[in-house]
A and B are shown apart, each in its own frame.
Chain A
Amino acid sequence: GAGVSQTPSNKVTEKGKYVELRCDPISGHTALYWYRQSLGQGPEFLIYFQGTGAADDSGLPNDRFFAVRPEGSVSTLKIQRTERGDSAVYLCASSSRPRSLAFFGQGTRLTVV
């Protein structure tokens, strides 16, 4: 597609449930990033993929969070045993290479009730 696509756009889940958030990067972009944005704050880094591998996962808050990119294109962010504090907008970005212009998707708004 022409831009970074994220699905779903909104997700409401109950506390304790498992969720998956999907990101389709711009075709050909090898670098893919996940960020999380809470209300009134700037996005915070979660994880960075270069190709299929997670080159930097130091932003993941705990082991309930996991992300994969098995074929070097689409990525899935997985959250186990969701907590109310996980409620935020999850943003995905891609770039043609590291340290270059990053393009963001429209985000997935996750609400844990």
Chain B
Amino acid sequence: GIQVEQSPPDLILQEGANSTLRCNFSDSVNNLQWFHQNPWGQLINLFYIPSGTKQNGRLSATTVATERYSLLYISSSQTTDSGVYFCAVDSSGSRLTFGEGTQLTVNP
């Protein structure tokens, strides 16, 4: 099956800093989503982005499908951005395969 690798596994930032999270995948995909899992375990949709670039406030994402990677940018980070960020891809049309996640901690 498709493999998904996320980096870095852990990231610690000071409030106000910017960061880039990366997701590499091993096959062509027809669905790619970024999620934020908050400390209560809820998975929150950030982007549906199988290709191209999208922005939503302080967050933006770019997927280069031909090179099989996606990037999530967080600008001016806030403590509420803390949590685990997951990239998930679908190549079969029936399931999302998740990476191991990036654990982000934003300190005040």
**Which stretch in A19-27, A62-70, A79-87, A102-110 binds the other chain?**
A102-110
Chain B residues contacting A48 (CB-CB under 8 Å) are 94-95
Tally of A-B Cβ pairs under 8 angstroms: 58
**Shortest beta-carbon distance, A91 to chain B, in Å?**
7
Q: In the complex, A106→B45 CA distance in Å?
A: 13
A44 and B31 contacting across the interface, CB-CB below 8 Å: no
Which residues, 33 to 52 on B, are CB-close (under 8 Å) to A? 33, 35, 40-43, 45, 48
Total contacting residues, chain A, CB less than 8 A: 24
Q: In the complex, A42→B85 CA distance in Å?
A: 10
Q: In the complex, A43→B4 CA distance in Å?
A: 12
**Chain A residue at minimal CB-CB distance from B40:** A106
Q: In the complex, A89→B94 CA distance in Å?
A: 21
Q: Does B90 contact A (CB under 8 A)?
A: yes
B101 and A42 contacting across the interface, CB-CB below 8 Å: yes
**Shortest beta-carbon distance, B44 to chain A, in Å?**
8
**Given A89-B41, A99-B31, A102-B33, are A42 and B98 neighbors across the interface (CB < 8 Å)?**
yes
A104 and B43 contacting across the interface, CB-CB below 8 Å: yes
Q: In the complex, A19→B90 CA distance in Å?
A: 29
Chain B residues contacting A61 (CB-CB under 8 Å) are none
* 22 CB < 8 A contacts A-B: A33-B95, A35-B96, A42-B4, A42-B86, A42-B88, A42-B99, A43-B98, A44-B98, A45-B97, A55-B94, A56-B95, A59-B95, A91-B43, A98-B93, A98-B94, A101-B48, A102-B45, A103-B45, A104-B43, A104-B45, A106-B40, A107-B42
Q: Which 10 pairs between the two chains have the least Cβ-Cβ distance? A: A42-B98, A104-B43, A56-B94, A45-B95, A101-B48, A48-B94, A99-B31, A43-B98, A99-B30, A98-B93
